[in-house]
């Protein structure tokens, strides 16, 4: 019941964050506040706030709420619990507690948050599938917000890889927002966990989502941004990660496109450039293992059951022979002029970004985007030393 005393105290309407901090500093544990005498609390926080505490004390209601949560497969973990995520606990404004459905992965894993535009481009969706699938397939825990676009793709393809993922909600644990993600939400709880700081029954108020973004970034060692405009709401998550000193990786995008203006601005300001999942794995000194080839261009999956089955359109037909690029000549008709220049250069010998920059007139930020596109198309691959060769 210790965690549930924190749930009770932190959710008393009218008790401000500063007052709650004062109570914990004075009494250490919420159950001690429950047992405290009225005159003691009067002196500490005033008579009006003391009245709120005493009016909210209802042992039978608290026990009933705890039983109801457990009946629905939900646990409440307070910040004082040793199972509370370590990285999140050590942020500027951690939640007093978390409602959790599923199993929270242990702190010794590598957690990477993947965020981006709700109305993402086909290119960004493709990139999100690739990064999420290959990172999760190599044991990385993927954290996101289950929103339309990049967030739900990230959660979804982590499951497709057989990995673990976490969805951070801006609603109560019993409310799916958006409603279209109900099946995905169940799958996430089965393959990781769904978490929120908001009590059951809390609807998706507009202000909830910017606040929940600090949890998305706070859970992870690093954050990957895939497509954000200059005024994108995703930027609150990235800025929160930067404020906490977390690593920020950005996939470069069209320098002329407004939908990538925010992404490219972070790159200009020193964010790590990520043109492949290997960039992130190597940064944390993790070794990537090869995975089954995937077609990342396929339309976004939809989950219609609780058994981890993905629609057959995402499966590679068994009777078809998977051919590599090296078995077939590159069709240059499908490439842009600059893609063709870089592809022909890499066909002759391995090259890194610096080498390509020195031998072409293509701007460095465009080179990064082209390399990502060529890698997603399966035409090139990255090797050690951040060099690229023909796949």
- Greatest Cα-to-Cα distance within the chain, rounded to the nearest angstrom: 83
111-283 CATH pick, 3.30.390.30, 3.40.50.450, 3.40.50.150, 3.90.800.10: 3.40.50.450
With respect to CATH, is domain 1-71 assigned 2.40.128? no
With CA atoms as reference, report the closest residue to 250 among 232, 270, 233, 236. 270
Predicted local confidence at residue 230, as pLDDT? 92
Predicted local confidence at residue 310, as pLDDT? 35
Query: Considering only 62-66, 215-219, 367-371, which range has the smallest mean pLDDT?
Result: 367-371
> Helix axis angle, 2-10 relative to 59-71, nearest 10°?
110
* Digit-coded pLDDT (tens) for 85-103: 999 999 999 999 999 999 9
Query: Considering only 63-72, 150-159, 336-345, which range has the smallest mean pLDDT?
Result: 336-345
Predicted local confidence at residue 374, as pLDDT? 82
The 3-state DSSP class for residue 9 equals helix
Mean predicted confidence (pLDDT) in 47-73: 95
Predicted local confidence at residue 18, as pLDDT? 95
Instruction: Quickly state the pLDDT bin for 309 (edges 50, 70, 90).
Output: very low
Instruction: Quickly state the pLDDT bin for 73 (edges 50, 70, 90).
Output: very high
Asked if 269 and 367 count as a contact pair (C-beta separation under 8 A), the reply is no
Looking up tokens 């019993």 gives: 174
Predicted local confidence at residue 261, as pLDDT? 95
With CA atoms as reference, report the closest residue to 110 among 246, 244, 302. 246
**Rg of the chain in Å (alpha carbons):** 24
pLDDT at 130 over 50: yes
CA atoms within 13 A on the CB side of 211: 13
pLDDT at 75 over 90: yes
> Helix axis angle, 17-27 relative to 38-45, nearest 10°?
130
Percentage of the chain exceeding pLDDT 70: 89
Stated pTM of the model: 0.77
d(CA 296, CA 300): 9
Predicted local confidence at residue 5, as pLDDT? 96
Mean predicted confidence (pLDDT) in 143-167: 96
d(CA 270, CA 268): 6
pLDDT at 168 over 90: yes
d(CA 196, CA 7): 13
Strands 380-383 and 141-144: unpaired
The 3-state DSSP class for residue 250 equals strand
Predicted local confidence at residue 89, as pLDDT? 97
Predicted local confidence at residue 38, as pLDDT? 96
Mean predicted confidence (pLDDT) in 138-165: 96
Return the structure tokens found at 22: 């004062």
Buried-exposed string 108-132: b where 16+ CB fall within 10 A, e elsewhere: eebbbbbbbbbebbebbbbbbbbbb
Predicted local confidence at residue 329, as pLDDT? 57
Asked if 74 and 173 count as a contact pair (C-beta separation under 8 A), the reply is yes
φ, ψ at 221 (rounded to 5°)? -70, -35
* Digit-coded pLDDT (tens) for 360-389: 888 776 787 788 778 777 888 877 666 788
Predicted local confidence at residue 385, as pLDDT? 62
φ, ψ at 78 (rounded to 5°)? -85, 165
Predicted local confidence at residue 318, as pLDDT? 37
All residues at 6 or more sequence positions from 276 whose CB lies less than 8 Å from its CB, including other chains: 372, 375, 382
What is the number of other CB atoms lying within 10 angstroms of the CB of residue 345? 16
Predicted local confidence at residue 303, as pLDDT? 38
Q: Nearest 5°: CA angle at 276, between 274 and 277?
A: 100
Average pLDDT for the chain: 88
Q: Nearest 5°: CA angle at 129, between 331 and 354?
A: 60
With CA atoms as reference, report the closest residue to 104 among 41, 196, 172, 18. 196
Architecture in CATH for domain 323-390: Orthogonal Bundle (1.10)
Structure-model confidence comparison of residues 254 and 115, the more confident one = 115
Domain residue ranges in the chain: 1-71, 111-283, 323-390
Mean predicted confidence (pLDDT) in 300-313: 35
d(CA 228, CA 259): 6
The 3-state DSSP class for residue 226 equals strand
pLDDT at 300 over 60: no
Mean predicted confidence (pLDDT) in 152-179: 96
* Digit-coded pLDDT (tens) for 222-276: 999 999 999 999 999 999 999 999 999 999 998 888 999 999 999 999 999 999 9
Q: How many residues does the chain have?
A: 391
Predicted local confidence at residue 226, as pLDDT? 96
Instruction: Quickly state the pLDDT bin for 307 (edges 50, 70, 90).
Output: very low
Return the structure tokens found at 254: 């069209």
DSSP of 255-306 = TT-GGGHHHHHHHHTTPEE-SSHHHHHHHTTPPPPP-----TTSPPP---SS
Instruction: Quickly state the pLDDT bin for 297 (edges 50, 70, 90).
Output: low
pLDDT at 314 over 60: no
d(CA 365, CA 198): 41
Instruction: Quickly state the pLDDT bin for 159 (edges 50, 70, 90).
Output: very high
Percentage of the chain exceeding pLDDT 90: 70
Asked if 133 and 157 count as a contact pair (C-beta separation under 8 A), the reply is yes
Mean predicted confidence (pLDDT) in 311-330: 38
Instruction: Quickly state the pLDDT bin for 315 (edges 50, 70, 90).
Output: very low
Which residues face 247 on adjacent strands? 222
d(CA 24, CA 7): 13
d(CA 8, CA 60): 12
């Amino acid at each position: 019941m210790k965690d549930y005393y924190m749930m009770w105290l932190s959710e008393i309407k009218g008790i401000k964050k500063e007052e709650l901090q004062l109570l914990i500093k004075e009494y250490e544990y919420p159950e001690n506040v429950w047992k405290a005498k009225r005159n003691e609390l009067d002196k500490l926080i005033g008579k009006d706030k003391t009245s709120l505490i005493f009016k909210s004390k209802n042992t039978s209601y608290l026990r009933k709420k705890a039983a109801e949560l457990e009946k629905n497969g939900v646990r409440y973990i307070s910040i004082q619990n040793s199972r509370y995520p370590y990285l999140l606990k050590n942020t500027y404004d951690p939640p007093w507690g978390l409602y959790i459905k599923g199993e929270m992965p242990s702190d010794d894993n590598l957690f990477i948050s993947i965020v981006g535009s709700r109305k993402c481009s086909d290119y960004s969706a493709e990139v999100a599938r690739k990064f999420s699938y290959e990172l999760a397939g190599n044991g990385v825990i993927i954290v996101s917000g289950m929103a339309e676009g990049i967030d739900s793709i990230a959660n979804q393809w982590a499951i497709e890889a057989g990995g673990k993922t976490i969805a951070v909600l801006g609603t109560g644990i019993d409310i799916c927002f958006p409603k279209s993600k109900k099946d995905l939400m169940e799958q996430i709880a089965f393959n990781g966990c769904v978490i929120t700081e908001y009590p059951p029954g809390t609807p998706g108020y507009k202000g909830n989502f910017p606040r929940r973004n600090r949890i998305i970034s706070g859970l992870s060692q690093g954050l990957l941004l895939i497509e954000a405009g200059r005024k994108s709401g995703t930027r609150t998550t990235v800025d929160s990660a930067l404020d906490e000193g977390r690593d920020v990786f950005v996939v470069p995008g069209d320098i002329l496109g407004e939908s990538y203006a925010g992404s490219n601005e972070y790159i200009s300001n020193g964010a790590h450039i990520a043109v492949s999942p290997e960039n992130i794995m190597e940064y944390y000194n993790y070794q990537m293992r090869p995975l089954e080839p995937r077609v990342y261009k396929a339309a976004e999956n939809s989950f219609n059951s609780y058994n981890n089955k993905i629609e057959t359109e995402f499966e590679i037909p068994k009777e078809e022979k998977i051919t590599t690029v090296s078995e077939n000549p590159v069709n240059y008709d499908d490439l842009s002029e600059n893609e063709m220049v870089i592809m022909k250069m890499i066909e002759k010998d391995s090259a890194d970004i610096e080498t390509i920059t020195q031998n072409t007139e293509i701007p460095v930020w465009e080179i990064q985007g082209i390399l990502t596109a060529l890698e997603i198309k399966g035409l090139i691959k990255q090797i050690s030393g951040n060099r690229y060769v023909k796949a």
